[in-house]
Amino acid sequence: MTTLFGRYVFRQVTNAFLIILLTLTTIVWLATALRQLDLIISQGQGIMLFLELTLLSLPSLMTLIAPNAMLMAALYTLDRMNGDSELIVMTASGAPIWRIGASFIALGSMVCVGILVANLYVSPAAMRALRVLITQVRTDLISQVLQPGRFSSPEAGLTFHIRDRSMTGDLLGLLVHDERDPTQVMSYLAERGRIVSNDDSSYLVMFDGNVQSESAANPEEGARIVGFDQYMLDLTEFDPTDDNSKELRPRERSLSELVYPSPQDQLANRSPGLFRQELHDRFATALYPLMFAFLAIAVLGHARTTREGRWPQILLAFGIAVGLRIVGFTVSNLVTMNAWALTLLYGIPLGAIMIAAWAAHVRMSPELRSKLSLELKFKPRNIKFWTGRGTPAK
């Protein structure tokens, strides 16, 4: 890649990769961001919060898109170079396939390193920051639902009411009626309340009130009333979509937390296969850009006449890449249940790299060399030459 031609090819494939990566990421990001528009339209959240929510998902998004962008950039660049007769000229001058493919391998290696860094450090940190931000948004939504003098229901079976708000933001004359549990109905009355939050959750702190509970199964028991000076209600319990909201998911864990989980970690003790899958998947997925670079070289790296259409080869490369990626996802899920599947998890991309490199190297030899040698061996006095390869011997 230190030659002038190597730098030229590297510049071409890098430009194509960046354009494709940014284009695909923007399209997928917009599709994802449109789902969050209700934060602005219906819930009154600011545009900066909306952008922060969607941008924090970009690192994970780009690690999924980057291998595909590498494949598309390599196929596009090789097809364009063949159409402009650049591959033909380099092959005619005696350049081996690896002089042409060195730039693609170099870029693929750089993308591998970038994905590895993102998988190990950037994406987990972004996912944790996104988790904290979602908790803050949930708190803000509960705060905005509570309007003085109105009964508000953020979800079915849950009703809030406040008499007024103080200048400091405290909730005055607070009523919370919770009948989501079919076996028990809870009602909270408090002189004032306040919403507080930390990195993991948000709480409604109530002062000077009482809690009334009534069993739906045994209504003859009547209501039980307990007074309190201070009572704390976990607002994360009002999120029906996440029953284990306090537990960090494996993809939100740092590398050290995956390798050395705490002995008291309930998720690690309950599902160790999830940690094993996430840990090794972060390393294995980083190999796919390099694998796709070798695949593109093996299929399209050799010069062909410009009269030949290359769409069959392009579709073949895409088909092989999609097949390998699907198998990789399947094996990744298998790792959760069986540790022996780790050999397949790493073996698929590494094996594909070696096979593609071997195929590209073998194809450097002229296609008719074996046939010509066979003719020379068995018919030395009657050498047969193919059209364009020579003239018949007499």
Q: What is the pLDDT of residues 321-376, one digit of tens each?
A: 999 999 999 999 999 988 899 999 999 999 999 999 999 888 765 544 444 444 44
Lowest mean pLDDT among 44-53, 203-212, 253-262, 383-392: 383-392
| 273-310 tens-digit pLDDT | 899 999 999 999 999 999 999 999 999 888 777 666 67
Task: Identify the burial level of 174 via C-beta atoms within 10 angstroms of its C-beta, where 0-12 means exposed, 13-18 middle and 19 or more buried.
Answer: buried
Q: What percent of the chain has pLDDT over 70?
A: 77
* Average pLDDT estimate for 56-74: 91
| More confident: 388 or 210 | 210
Q: pLDDT value at position 20?
A: 95
Q: pLDDT value at position 392?
A: 46
Q: Give the closest residue to 170 by CA, choosing from 188, 189, 192, 139.
A: 192
> Can you tell me the distance from the alpha carbon of 272 to that of 276, in angstroms, rounded to the nearest whole number?
6
* Average pLDDT estimate for 242-255: 72
Q: pLDDT value at position 386?
A: 39
Q: Give the closest residue to 134 by CA, choosing from 242, 18, 13.
A: 242
Q: pLDDT value at position 154?
A: 64
- HSE-CB at 5 with a 13 A cutoff on CA atoms is 15
Q: pLDDT value at position 271?
A: 86
Is a pLDDT exceeding 90 seen at residue 385?
no
Is a pLDDT exceeding 50 seen at residue 388?
no
Centre a 10 Å sphere on the Cβ of residue 34 and count the other Cβ atoms it contains.
10
* Average pLDDT estimate for 218-232: 79
* Residue 20 to residues 25, 28, 54, 291, 345, Cα–Cα distance (Å): 8, 12, 20, 18, 27
Q: pLDDT value at position 358?
A: 92
Q: pLDDT value at position 201?
A: 66
pTM greater than 0.85 (yes/no): no
Is a pLDDT exceeding 60 seen at residue 38?
no
Mean pLDDT of the chain: 80
Centre a 10 Å sphere on the Cβ of residue 175 and count the other Cβ atoms it contains.
17
